[in-house]
């Protein structure tokens, strides 16, 4: 048995290495022209003082690259590239980089669109999948399946939105599908799975009802400062969908943990009373509550760091950013934190009832 497991791991490692190597030699399959940079020379053209008296340096690169695909394969071209020291809006290229050109296979053009990144993607994604399967075995395989299915569901949701469907209805459907798909793939079809699904849906309903209640009594948010939406008329629906999906993973995590724990307690001690089961589940929930809320906080803070730095470097005051640019993030954090807290009593109650239901039926028959 052990030899079979080791053979499977070696087989997966071989597939992983082959996939990574393939991305280094797959230029012929690209419709976009590719080129590999063979030499780079650069010079500083000017410097300019930016905001906060920061000195911004401007550079021009003279690049020689060899075309890797298309009718001009093997030919060398000269490319000019300009970038600044901050590299906020442009990029510096190095010798050995494989880049995508702006033209076609027949006419490659003489400007760079971006760096070819499928090698990094294969290395990281393949590494994740390989480690999942090697370390967690069958459960890792089911995790990969759930990731693929959820990605497909997400893609179908975007397709429906592009066809004019209401985004709030799409959000409701994909939130339900995410819950069902993830929990069934990871836990199978068991009582604890249905307890987790029901708990997740109930908590989502409660936090969205709470959000609607707060809007009705205290006024809606000002969506005019919500960035990148432009003149879209459904800003409120987009934000609602955002809130619904943001904390879904954390709420599911709490529900699964409590459902699994209560199921294990009932399995080890079928005669445990409902009151003791609820008490045990509540204590488990309290142990994970603080960690999950802090995870949400870290995700929120890390997503805001680039925006804070860019805005403050452009002389936007810190208090202005707080007042006009992050109320939406604060709202997300508060609503989802409330969801995590509510998930504890809801999951404890639902899981305890569902797990104890068979033993309660047996006691009634006696």
Tens-digit pLDDT profile for residues 132-141: 888 888 888 8
Contacts of 262 (CB under 8 A, 6+ apart): 192, 195, 277, 280, 281, 348, 351, 352, 355
Q: Which two tokens stand for residue 156?
A: 């179908």
| DSSP 8-state secondary structure symbol assigned to residue 27 | G
Residue 311 has pLDDT above 70, yes or no: yes
Q: Which two tokens stand for residue 292?
A: 């999950």
Q: Note the pLDDT tens digit of each residue in 25-65.
A: 888 888 888 999 999 998 888 888 766 667 788 899 999 99
Q: Contact, 132 vs 14, CB < 8 A?
A: no
Express as a percent the part of the chain with pLDDT over 70. Answer: 90
Q: Which two tokens stand for residue 231?
A: 């003149």
Helices 167-187 and 235-246 cross at an angle (nearest 10°) of 10
The H or E element spanning position 294 is helix 274-313
Q: Which two tokens stand for residue 160?
A: 């429906």
Q: Contact, 226 vs 239, CB < 8 A?
A: yes
Question: Which residue bears the tokens 């969801």?
Answer: 339
pTM: 0.75
Q: What's the pLDDT at 152?
A: 92
């Amino acid at each position: 048995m052990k030899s079979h497991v080791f053979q499977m791991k070696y087989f997966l490692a071989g597939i992983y290495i082959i996939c990574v190597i393939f991305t280094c030699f797959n230029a012929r399959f690209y419709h976009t022209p590719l080129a590999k940079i063979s030499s780079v020379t650069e010079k500083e053209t000017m410097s300019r003082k930016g905001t906060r008296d920061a000195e911004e340096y401007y550079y021009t690169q003279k690049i020689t690259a060899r075309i890797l695909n298309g009718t001009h394969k093997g030919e060398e071209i000269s490319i000019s590239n300009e970038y600044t020291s901050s590299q906020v809006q442009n990029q510096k290229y190095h010798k050995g980089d494989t880049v995508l050109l702006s033209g076609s296979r027949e006419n490659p053009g003489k400007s760079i669109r971006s760096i070819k990144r499928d090698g990094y993607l294969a290395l990281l994604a393949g590494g994740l999948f390989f480690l999942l399967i090697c370390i967690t075995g069958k459960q890792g395989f089911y995790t990969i399946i759930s990731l693929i299915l959820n990605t497909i569901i997400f893609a179908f949701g975007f397709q429906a939105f592009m066809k004019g469907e209401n985004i709030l209805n799409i959000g409701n459907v994909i939130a339900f599908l995410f819950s069902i798909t993830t929990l069934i793939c990871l836990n199978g079809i068991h009582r604890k799975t249905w307890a987790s699904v029901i708990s997740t849906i109930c908590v989502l309903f409660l936090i969205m009802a709470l959000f609607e209640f707060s809007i009705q009594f205290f006024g809606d948010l000002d969506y005019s400062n919500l960035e990148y939406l432009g003149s879209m008329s459904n800003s409120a629906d987009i934000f609602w969908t955002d809130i619904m999906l943001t904390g879904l993973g954390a709420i599911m995590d709490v529900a699964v943990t409590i459902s699994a724990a209560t199921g294990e307690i009932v399995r080890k001690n079928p005669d445990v009373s409902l009151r003791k089961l609820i008490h045990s589940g509540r204590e488990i929930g309290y142990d994970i509550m603080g960690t999950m809320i802090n995870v949400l906080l870290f995700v929120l803070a890390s997503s805001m760091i680039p925006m804070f730095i860019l805005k403050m470097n452009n002389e936007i005051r810190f208090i202005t950013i707080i007042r006009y640019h992050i109320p939406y993030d604060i709202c997300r954090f508060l609503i989802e934190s409330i969801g995590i807290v509510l998930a504890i009593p809801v999951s404890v109650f639902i899981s305890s009832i569902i797990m104890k239901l068979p033993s309660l039926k047996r006691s009634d028959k006696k």
